[in-house]
């Protein structure tokens, strides 16, 4: 089968970290759009965050599993590990957001953006070395 992307783009997309940035970035934009929608409807920012998390995770798992980490492991095991890493980031965001909003007076959407940026590196490492790592891989 022929190449889909031009050679320079194909080389970049072959790099796992680049794929992570693309997928996580797209997921984050979708998530923030949902939070913004909830805020526009007058929801409390914590309700908007909770609803956005529940909706976003449904698409994030298959995207990370297939597009970023190209996992061939059992999907149920991958899902359980993914949820534990995702939940850690979600909890960090749920703690950081009220601190940023209530103590620093930051708008909720900006506070969520800050939380996402801070959590992103830890999430990548957690997914790379735990969620989608399988026996037989280097260091396993």
Which residues are CB-contacts of 99 (< 8 A; sequence separation ≥ 6)?
none
Q: What is the pLDDT of residue 100?
A: 95
Using a pLDDT cut of 90, give the percent of the chain over it: 50
Q: Please state the rounded mean pLDDT for residues 77-87.
A: 90
- The pTM assigned to this predicted structure is 0.79
CA nearest 78: which of 64, 57, 58, 93?
64
Residue 4: count of CB within 10 angstroms of its CB: 8
* pLDDT over threshold 90, residue 29: yes
Q: Which two tokens stand for residue 71?
A: 């996992």
Q: Which two tokens stand for residue 18?
A: 């680049």
* pLDDT over threshold 90, residue 44: yes
Higher pLDDT, 2 or 79: 79
Q: Which two tokens stand for residue 136?
A: 């037989």
Q: Please state the rounded mean pLDDT for residues 97-121.
A: 92
CA dist., res. 100 & res. 139, Å (int)? 38
* pLDDT over threshold 70, residue 49: yes
């Amino acid at each position: 089968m022929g190449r889909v992307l031009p050679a320079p783009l194909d080389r970049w997309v072959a790099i796992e970290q680049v794929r992570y940035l693309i997928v996580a970035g797209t997921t984050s934009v979708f998530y923030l759009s949902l939070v913004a929608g909830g805020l526009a409807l007058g929801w409390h920012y914590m309700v908007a965050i909770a609803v956005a998390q529940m909706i976003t995770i449904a698409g994030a798992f298959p995207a990370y599993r297939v597009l970023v980490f190209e996992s061939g492991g059992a999907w149920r095991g991958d899902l359980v590990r993914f949820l534990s890493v995702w939940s850690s980031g979600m909890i960090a965001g749920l703690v950081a957001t009220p601190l940023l909003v209530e103590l620093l007076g930051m708008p909720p959407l900006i506070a969520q953006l800050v939380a996402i940026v801070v959590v992103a590196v830890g999430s990548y490492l957690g997914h790379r070395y735990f969620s989608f790592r399988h026996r037989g891989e280097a260091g396993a």
